[in-house]
């Protein structure tokens, strides 16, 4: 995931004008500025990506190179020189103007990490750029496996999202990145998941945590209560003399385990004892009597 789709980062199309890019950058830079998001590592990372994208796309020359060469844009000049060498080689009886055929292949291997290949009489092939996208979902969305259609570079891609996927997790969709150069292989699409949790449950891996209020009388005498779990309500039996902060575990009532069909984590409940307020005179008398008995 070293390469970033700069257009996607700024939320603009490849046909965006210079003014469009400037507006998008300013809007996102304000939103994710470190001063407005103190101690937020995700916002800090996003802010750096936004600045990096702007530095390339706001510069007409760099943008032209980026549009033509994708992830290899910083080596555009070397690539052009290499193409000229190849043309020269084809017109001079396989002579490389100072390069042997082996040297010429080594040049591409060292420059582009082995992704480019060159053989006599053929064009240099480059793997397409990798694309990066972020998909925002609610916690409820990833409780079950489901399909979703994404639009990336004006293409609709149907993907399956497994239940239990984590916030910040990245999955790779092979071959759905940028188109390869000179019939090279396509790049891949990397999707990072941003999971919003407004459920009232704290998630830690495949376990869930929540707090349930317990009235004084049920805590003292015991009884039955109904509590919410992520997929519905269940009845619990409270033991007499239950203390404040008591924790119980509901096995299998947590979150689905990623790519483990039918397996779930546990739900941990902490009881929060609620002391009665606005006591009547009669209640005060009874509590006073109780205190004397103790």
CA dist 71 and 65 (Å) reads 10
- Mode of pairing for the β-strands spanning 202-204 and 207-215: antiparallel
Structure confidence at residue 93 (pLDDT) = 45
127-198 is classed CATH 2.60.260.20:
yes
For residues 136 and 11, is the Cβ–Cβ distance under 8 A?
Answer: no
Whole-angstrom distance, CA of residue 214 vs CA of residue 166: 31
The Cα–Cα gap between 177 and 128 comes to 7
The arrangement of strands across the sheet holding 131-138 comes to 131-138, 189-196, 170-173
Residues in contact with 259: Cβ distance below 8 Å, sequence separation at least 6, in sequence order: 162, 164
Indicate the pTM of the whole model. 0.58
- Return the C-alpha torsion angle 22, 24, 29, 30, nearest 10: 110
Mapped onto helix, strand or coil, the DSSP state of residue 180 is: coil
CATH code of the region 202-293: 2.60.260.20
* Domain residue ranges in the chain: 127-198, 202-293
What is residue 207's predicted lDDT score, i.e. its pLDDT? 97
CA distances from 103 to 86, 90, 241 (A): 12, 16, 82
Say yes or no: do domains 127-198 and 202-293 share a fold: yes
pLDDT lower than 70: segments of the chain: 1-4, 71, 76, 78-123
């Amino acid at each position: 995931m070293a390469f970033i789709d700069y257009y996607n980062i700024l939320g603009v199309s490849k046909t965006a004008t210079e003014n469009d890019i400037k507006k998008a950058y300013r809007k996102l830079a304000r939103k994710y500025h470190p001063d407005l998001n103190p101690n937020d590592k995700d916002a800090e990372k996003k802010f750096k990506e936004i600045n990096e994208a702007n530095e390339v796309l706001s510069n007409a020359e760099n943008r032209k190179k980026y549009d033509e060469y994708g992830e290899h844009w910083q080596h555009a000049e070397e690539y052009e020189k290499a193409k000229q060498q190849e043309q020269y080689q084809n017109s001079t009886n396989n002579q490389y103007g100072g390069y042997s055929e082996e040297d010429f292949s080594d040049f591409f291997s060292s420059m582009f990490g082995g992704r480019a290949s060159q053989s006599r009489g053929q064009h240099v092939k480059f793997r397409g750029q990798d694309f990066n996208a972020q998909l925002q979902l609610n916690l409820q969305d990833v409780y079950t496996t489901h399909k979703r259609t994404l639009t990336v570079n004006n293409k609709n891609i149907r993907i399956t999202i497994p239940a239990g996927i984590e916030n910040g997790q990245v999955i790779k969709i092979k071959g759905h990145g940028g188109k390869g150069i000179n019939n090279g292989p396509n790049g891949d699409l990397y999707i990072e998941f941003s999971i919003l949790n407004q459920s009232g449950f704290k998630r830690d891996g495949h376990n869930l945590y929540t707090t349930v209020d317990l009235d004084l009388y049920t805590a003292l005498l015991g009884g039955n209560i109904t509590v919410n779990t992520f997929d519905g309500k269940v009845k619990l039996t409270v033991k007499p003399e239950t203390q404040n902060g008591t924790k119980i575990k509901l096995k299998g009532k947590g979150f689905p385990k990623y790519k483990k069909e039918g397996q779930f984590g546990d739900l941990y409940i902490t009881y929060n004892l609620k002391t009665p307020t606005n006591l009547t005179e009669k209640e005060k008398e009874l509590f006073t009597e109780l205190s004397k008995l103790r």
